[in-house]
Chains A and B, each alone.
Chain A
Amino acid sequence: MTTLAPDGILLGFARALRAAGLPVTADRESTYLLAVATVGMSDRAATYWAGRATLCSGPEDIERYDQVFTGWFGGEERGLTSVPPERTRPQVWLDSDEGAAGRPTEDPDDEVLKVAASAVEVLRHRDVTTLTAAEKQLLAATIDTLRPRAPLRRGTRRLPSRRGEVDPHRTLRAQLKHLGEPTDLAWRRRHTRPRRVVLLIDVSGSMSPYADVLLRVAHRYLRSGAPAEVFTVGTRLTRVTRALRQRDPDRALHDAGQAVPDWSGGTRLGETLGAFITRWGRRGVARGAVVVVCSDGWERGDASTLGEQMRHLAQLAHRVVWLNPHRGKAGYQPIQQGIVAALPYVDHFVAGHSLGAYLELLEVLARA
């Protein structure tokens, strides 16, 4: 190691960072070398900052950068301290050499196409936890063919229309073509834009039978191209939007599963909701959006925290939808502490146990 040229040491460091999962590309490496050459390699702190500015691309990278830096260049002190700890966010990497796992090898597609509509009709009202493996495949295939529609909001721009108000600009322009002679009036109207949808999916133990299917529905919604964000909540908040954006549903679900550290863990819904509101919601993600909380409301923590956070969420969001898988079951009463605390701030309370319920959810979203 001691015989290596300086650029060898630096490039080795960049490689080590890449191995640690940072998105280090060749052009970043060359910028890094230039930057270190500019500040001089003898200045340890400056080398640290030059690397941090050229090789990191977000606060979530900084902690790993620090670790690799100490490992590579040795020593204790590292420039200054790093990110505020609450800012660590989910890392989602694409491991390209791993195929989509967790799926039977025989391709069900041909089979599915032949399945008559009646089979889907039967499936429609069955609880997804009671399905056989074949039925689950059919359910998955059906979900992948859904066409969700985004809720709409009024945009600021006005677009040409056949009704609405008179469009002075276009009317005058049309007159110019006729040397100022009055011609037909042009009209314009405010257009509509898709409203953002935020899905918060509970992945705690009590929800795990449903979480898979819910993530698949979320993937379908994201793939429709409408603006949306997906997070999983449990004991921690994880953003899985990036993983779910991939085209292939199984691949997307697999990567999302990898990104979630608290699968089938406990529930601290109030706290994670709070984390969502502070880190994402208030900065714009939840503002004016339709927020869907998918949870059974079994809160381990203090239910009053959940109530407070839900109130906050309701103030930020355009509509709050609560999806509870148990709601569709006979004899269900909303008496769990969490649900009781949250219900006053919920605009729509929907079921989430069957295909029919998901169709209803998409309908509620489209009209929200």
Chain B
Amino acid sequence: MLPTDQVTSAAGLAQTLASTGYLCDDALATIGFLALRLHRPLLLEGEPGTGKTALAEALALGLGIPLVRLQCYEGIDASQALYDWDFPRQILHLRAVESTARRGGQGSDVDLGQVEADLFTTRFLLARPVLRALQESPCVLLVDEVDRADDEFEAFLLEVLSTYQVSIPELGTVRAEQPPIVVLTSNRTREVHDALKRRCLYHWIEHPGLERELAIVRSRAPEVSEALGEQVVRLTQLLRTTTDLIKPPGVAETLDWARALHQLGTEVVDVETAARTLGVAVKYREDADRVRMMLDRILSR
């Protein structure tokens, strides 16, 4: 039985994810379930810190399959995503063959054709993430920050994602027996091409609501006391919705803040402790100034 068959409904997927500590809403569960069933890549967009990458990690952990990660950057090309030949080892191999032949004298003939054929075998193939994902499937292939890659790379990705196979001229075609679960994330620094979007299921991840963020803090930072966690979550939710910050704090910042306050032995957040630890949650000087001015008002409520 394949690991993806264990999941029979959206609620089941939500439960699987919850067992790894990743709490998702119905929408994300439904769409994740569809991705598993329809074997479609999942394109996730959203503010930084809303758990796009974490979803792929949780999927792999929850389904008990490996995670293969491909981090995109400007200038990434197929040889960094697919495969490369291990040139130094090929040379080393040739030298070894050469020296054994010499030592053996005239008697030991080397089969030239065989030596050459040996050079292009899987022994000397460096499998990069995409090829590895196809070989190791079932697995989760995470293509992180796809918006950073160039257009050419996107076209290449489109080709792989539509056929789930890769052909290596010297070796033949590598085909995944079962398509891997593909998760693409994007921060929208660049519009992803429409052809790629059409292949994918699209979802925009938003910041979690109060209840769910509380649950996340409880599961991810169990050492933090209930009361403290609730205060921090309320505070960050308020910062996100009411103030106009350059970079509103994400869930990761909430967790960091709660842990930081816990480390300082705080039980009740007051203006002073909040101001002292503000750097954990707010990363711009302008934001920090603005929040500091508001803290009085927020915390006295």
Kindly supply a per-residue 1/0 record for chain A positions 97-113, scoring 1 wherever the CB is within 8 Å of any chain B CB and 0 otherwise: 00000000000000000
Q: How far is the CA of A133 from the CA of B120 in the complex (A)?
A: 68
Q: Which of A5-13, A136-144, A276-284 makes up part of the contact surface?
A: A276-284
Q: How far is the CA of A62 from the CA of B188 in the complex (A)?
A: 16
Quote the shortest CB–CB distance from A72 to chain B (angstroms).
19
Q: With A31-B38, A31-B40 known to touch, is A39 a contact of B10 (CB < 8 Å)?
A: yes
Pairwise interchain contact B75-A53, C-beta atoms closer than 8 A? no
Pairwise interchain contact B38-A284, C-beta atoms closer than 8 A? no
| Cβ of A74 under 8 Å from chain B | no
Q: Could you tell me how many residues of chain B have their Cβ less than 8 Å away from some Cβ of chain A?
A: 28
Pairwise interchain contact A49-B27, C-beta atoms closer than 8 A? yes
Quote the shortest CB–CB distance from B39 to chain A (angstroms).
10
Quote the shortest CB–CB distance from B242 to chain A (angstroms).
14
Interface residues of B in 199-240 (CB under 8 A from A): 201-204, 206
In the bound complex, residues from chain A placing their C-beta under 8 Å from that of B198 are 25, 27-28, 57
| Cβ of B164 under 8 Å from chain A | no
The listed residue (A31, A39, A79) touching B33 by CB distance below 8 A is A39
In the bound complex, residues from chain A placing their C-beta under 8 Å from that of B190 are 284
| Cβ of B45 under 8 Å from chain A | yes
Quote the shortest CB–CB distance from B34 to chain A (angstroms).
5
Quote the shortest CB–CB distance from B243 to chain A (angstroms).
13
- Smallest Cβ-Cβ distance to B147: which chain A residue: A284
In the bound complex, residues from chain A placing their C-beta under 8 Å from that of B206 are 84
Pairwise interchain contact A23-B194, C-beta atoms closer than 8 A? yes
In the bound complex, residues from chain B placing their C-beta under 8 Å from that of A39 are 10, 30, 33-34
Q: How far is the CA of A39 from the CA of B29 in the complex (A)?
A: 11
Pairwise interchain contact A283-B202, C-beta atoms closer than 8 A? no
Q: With A278-B246, A284-B189 known to touch, is A56 a contact of B202 (CB < 8 Å)?
A: yes
| Cβ of A94 under 8 Å from chain B | no
Pairwise interchain contact A62-B204, C-beta atoms closer than 8 A? yes
Q: With A283-B187, A284-B190 known to touch, is A46 a contact of B10 (CB < 8 Å)?
A: yes
In the bound complex, residues from chain A placing their C-beta under 8 Å from that of B37 are 38
Quote the shortest CB–CB distance from A60 to chain B (angstroms).
10
Pairwise interchain contact A49-B26, C-beta atoms closer than 8 A? yes
In the bound complex, residues from chain B placing their C-beta under 8 Å from that of A59 are 45, 204
Pairwise interchain contact A79-B197, C-beta atoms closer than 8 A? no
In the bound complex, residues from chain A placing their C-beta under 8 Å from that of B118 are none
Interface residues of A in 61-115 (CB under 8 A from B): 62, 79-80, 83-84
- Smallest Cβ-Cβ distance to A277: which chain B residue: B246
Q: With A53-B203, A278-B246 known to touch, is A45 a contact of B26 (CB < 8 Å)?
A: yes
The listed residue (B26, B187, B201) touching A53 by CB distance below 8 A is B201
Pairwise interchain contact A46-B202, C-beta atoms closer than 8 A? no
| Cβ of A285 under 8 Å from chain B | yes
| Cβ of B289 under 8 Å from chain A | no
Q: With A39-B30, A282-B246 known to touch, is A157 a contact of B189 (CB < 8 Å)?
A: no
Q: With A28-B198, A83-B204 known to touch, is A35 a contact of B189 (CB < 8 Å)?
A: no
Pairwise interchain contact A53-B197, C-beta atoms closer than 8 A? no
In the bound complex, residues from chain A placing their C-beta under 8 Å from that of B197 are 57-58
- Smallest Cβ-Cβ distance to B196: which chain A residue: A57
Pairwise interchain contact B202-A57, C-beta atoms closer than 8 A? yes
Q: How far is the CA of A113 from the CA of B115 in the complex (A)?
A: 66
Q: With A27-B198, A49-B26, A282-B246 known to touch, is A35 a contact of B187 (CB < 8 Å)?
A: no
| Cβ of A50 under 8 Å from chain B | yes
| Cβ of A340 under 8 Å from chain B | no
In the bound complex, residues from chain A placing their C-beta under 8 Å from that of B188 are 283
Interface residues of A in 225-260 (CB under 8 A from B): none
Q: How far is the CA of A28 from the CA of B202 in the complex (A)?
A: 12
Interface residues of B in 1-38 (CB under 8 A from A): 10, 25-27, 30-31, 33-34, 37-38
| Cβ of A34 under 8 Å from chain B | yes
Interface residues of A in 157-206 (CB under 8 A from B): 157, 176
Quote the shortest CB–CB distance from B84 to chain A (angstroms).
14
Quote the shortest CB–CB distance from B133 to chain A (angstroms).
22
Interface residues of B in 106-142 (CB under 8 A from A): none
In the bound complex, residues from chain B placing their C-beta under 8 Å from that of A278 are 246
Interface residues of chain B, those whose CB is within 8 Å of chain A, are 10, 25-27, 30-31, 33-34, 37-38, 40, 45, 75, 91, 187-191, 194, 197-198, 201-204, 206, 246
Please name 22 pairs of A and B residues whose Cβ atoms are closer than 8 Å in the assembled complex, sorted by A: A31-B38, A35-B38, A38-B34, A38-B38, A39-B33, A45-B26, A45-B27, A49-B30, A52-B203, A53-B30, A53-B201, A53-B202, A53-B203, A54-B202, A57-B194, A57-B198, A58-B197, A59-B45, A80-B25, A282-B246, A284-B189, A284-B190
Considering the complex of A and B, which 6 residue pairs feature the smallest CB-CB distances, nearest first? A284-B189, A53-B201, A49-B30, A57-B197, A53-B31, A283-B189
